[in-house]
Structure 1
């Protein structure tokens, strides 16, 4: 049997069942069967997913830095961002905050987004729900003690997540943020490779979220080139908190946040 005929038979069968239930048990029973069928056809409908990028008509993108290693390049990165008038989003580990509180204050004072990267940079999926909460709240309390700010964005270390990690973070009033464009700067690839991985990435589009790191070898060298080139292509850099939707949205199976 060819696919078209098979599909028609299945559709016809569903219609017969729905009609029969409508006659026997009323519209609610029919609607229940239809809803169940929709859920079967859309298995990711109710799955908890993080945000990888945003569906937007604006030529806006977000530059993010995972900040969990050294601080030797922080001043250069901040200087570049200030010169280019770019506000970024920094995801701090609690350990980094404890080691470099003055830098945390400096970043916050410059008006950049501050996000949570876990207390000790652990693989979140290897932890129990209680341990996950401890990791998130540990970093939260350290940042709050240093800056007085309440964080609302969480990026799991290594991008390691499952549905339980997302649920746990949202129970703590955090939105989980991943990325759609990966610079791979943490691998200490060359300046030119970093530039090409970001600027020539097929996912570089409106609503893209770029992943970079502090404490790396070539990020500070590639950063001004990346910013200038993407600006020349018409993009505007905004912090993640300004780009994502906060209500009336859903996240599709590809991780793109869309308006309902």
Structure 2
């Protein structure tokens, strides 16, 4: 899936966390009454303090999904190595929140046919995106931070209001987290609604 199948809905998604900035993001989402989806790295959850942020996200109703264990290039892995990478992430996530996710986003958005087959066999729903903030490009360039905002808001406001969107950001970048409240307000003004990936594609978590 690259977009919401429910027209007029937007799913905000955040990759590579949890991070020290995740609590701020959760505060902002709660203030705006918006649910999001977090594609977490199993490695990050080895830090118990960071893991608490993911537990809090789940308790607040956000969707927790897998971004694998170590953010590897999946097409370079054998089938067995891919299974191990994903299973290690499952174990890490399950230790943290008591659940095993069935949604996954491949690192870098990279998949080959074998990867897709293995992940489908493991019962995963594979999620990409159709609106990329490109926030990772600008984290070290403060004068360009506004471009991440422009990518998200511009792409969505220029599209038909009956379109559906899955937005990619990273909660490891503080500036990107700080953009979220205004992104939400601008998109709400367009008449669109926010929800989790599972809800916006009409499938269970």
> TM over 0.5, yes or no?
yes
CA distance in 1: counterparts of 2:52 and 2:122, whole angstroms: 26
Among 10, 16, 32, the residue aligned to 1:61: 10
Counterpart residue number, 2:154: 200
TM-score relative to the length of structure 1: 0.71
Count of residue correspondences:
195
- 1:171-225 per-residue CA deviation (whole Å, 9 max, x = no partner) reads 1111100000000111225332111100111685522100000111411221111
Stretches of structure 1 that go unaligned for 5 or more consecutive residues are: 1-50, 248-260
TM-score, normalised with respect to structure 2? 0.89
Partner of 1:118, secondary structure, is coil
SS at structure 1 position matched to 2:43: helix
The answer to whether the Cα contact below 8 Å between 1:94 and 1:142 also exists between their aligned partners in 2 is: yes
Q: Choose from 90, 96, 115 the match for 1:140.
A: 90
Distance in 1 between the 2:38 and 2:74 partners? 19
Q: Is the 8 A contact 1:191 1:221 kept in 2?
A: no
RMSD: 1.8
Point out 4+ residue stretches in structure 1 off by more than 2 angstroms.
Answer: 202-206
Specify the SS of the correspondent of 1:91. strand
Q: Supply the distance in 2 between the matched residues of 1:159 and 1:242 (Cα, whole angstroms).
A: 21
Q: 2:170 aligns with which of 213, 235, 253?
A: 213
Which residue of structure 2 aligns with residue 125 of structure 1?
75
Deviation at 1:74, TM superposition (A): 1.1
Structure 2 residues without counterparts, runs of 5 or longer = none
2:33 to 53, 69, 85: 85
Partner residue in 1 for 2:188: 231
Structure with the greater alpha carbon radius of gyration: 1
| Counterpart Cα distance in 1 of 2:42 and 2:171 | 15
What does residue range 24-173 of structure 1 map to in structure 2 within 5 Å?
A: 51-56=1-6, 58-68=7-17, 71-99=19-47, 100-173=50-123
> Greater relative contact order: 1 or 2 (C-alpha under 8 angstroms, separation 6 or more)?
2
Distance 2:202 2:58 in 1: 22
Q: What is the distance in 2 between the residues matched to 1:144 and 1:204?
A: 38
